[in-house]
């Protein structure tokens, strides 16, 4: 269960880290599964060229373009993944933030994130809600570090309290990223902090929190597992991409 101070931190800052949430053995199992799926090229896989992030290869045929970035559809790949995503310890924490009835989205996140050395690209300041369509921009993502995450291998950065900000349209570019050529945004970004995680640590983030991540400059691959959840009274908008796949009731 989350402590009262952890709940306050999430509400105030838009994120909270729960150390040593998952067994290290489970993390090894998930990484081994990811490597096996990648070796067999089990689709769907998102490649670096597909992301169109800054510094990403221009096409899959370009150097590094066929480097995997995400193993999508994690809940369809293995019972070991879906069982963790719907497990009671995680569910109890999410209920403390979202209410008694919650759903796991199989459209958004639902993946194993992969950051390979050399060809991993960075991602600018964004809110996950930029491409999501729910009645309210009020979801929670659970990010499990399957390996250690630090600045050198491209850990997540967040801007505390930014989930509460009202952002004007002119502060964003056409892809809904914070413009970095705008003085007001630069002042906001100065408040960013890196989320340093050890293997097995869990990060819970609000879907309206501004976040970014750098490249993996080490010689070892970084793996993370991410799932997204909503309250029962916050359904996806009918006809939108967010409603494309059936959800899992918890």
CA count, 13 A, side-chain hemisphere, 186: 4
Q: Give, for all 250 residues of the chain, the pLDDT tens digit.
A: 999 999 999 999 999 999 999 999 999 999 999 999 999 999 999 999 999 887 788 899 988 889 999 999 999 999 999 999 999 999 999 999 999 999 999 999 999 999 999 888 899 999 999 989 999 999 999 999 999 999 999 999 999 999 999 999 999 998 899 999 889 899 999 999 999 999 999 999 999 999 999 999 999 999 999 999 999 999 999 999 999 999 999 9
Question: What is d(CA 133, CA 145) in angstroms, rounded to the nearest whole number?
Answer: 27
How far apart are the C-alpha atoms of 1 and 103, rounded to whole Å? 19
Distance of CA 244 to the CA centre of its chain: 19
Q: d(Cα 164, Cα 119) in Å, to the nearest integer?
A: 34
Angstrom distance (rounded) from CA 170 to CA 172: 5
Distance, in Å, from the CA atom of 197 to the CA atom of 147, rounded to the nearest integer, reads 8
What is the rounded CA–CA span in Å between residue 237 and residue 242?
7
pTM: 0.96
């Amino acid at each position: 269960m989350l402590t009262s101070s952890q709940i306050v931190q999430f509400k105030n800052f838009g994120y909270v880290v729960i150390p040593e949430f998952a067994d290290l053995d489970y993390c090894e199992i998930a990484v081994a599964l990811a490597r096996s799926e990648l070796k067999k090229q089990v689709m769907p896989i998102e490649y670096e060229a597909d992301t169109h992030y800054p510094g990403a290869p221009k096409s899959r045929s370009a150097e590094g373009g066929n480097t995997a970035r995400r193993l999508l559809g994690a809940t369809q790949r293995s019972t070991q993944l879906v069982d963790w995503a719907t497990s009671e310890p995680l569910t109890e924490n999410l209920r403390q933030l979202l209410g008694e009835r919650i759903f796991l989205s199989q459209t958004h996140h639902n993946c194993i994130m992969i950051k390979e050395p050399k060809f991993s690209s960075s991602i600018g300041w964004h809110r996950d809600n930029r491409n999501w369509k729910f009645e309210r921009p009020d979801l929670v993502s659970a990010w499990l570090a399957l390996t250690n995450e630090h600045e050198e291998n491209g850990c997540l950065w967040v801007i505390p309290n930014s989930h509460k900000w009202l952002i004007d349209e002119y502060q964003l570019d056409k892809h809904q990223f914070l413009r970095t050529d705008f003085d007001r945004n630069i002042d906001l970004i100065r408040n960013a902090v890196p989320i340093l995680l050890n293997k097995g640590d869990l990060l819970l983030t609000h879907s309206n929190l501004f976040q970014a991540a750098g490249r993996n400059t080490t010689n070892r691959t970084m793996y993370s597992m991410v799932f997204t959840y909503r309250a029962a009274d916050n359904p996806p908008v009918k006809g939108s991409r967010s409603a494309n796949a059936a959800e899992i009731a918890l």
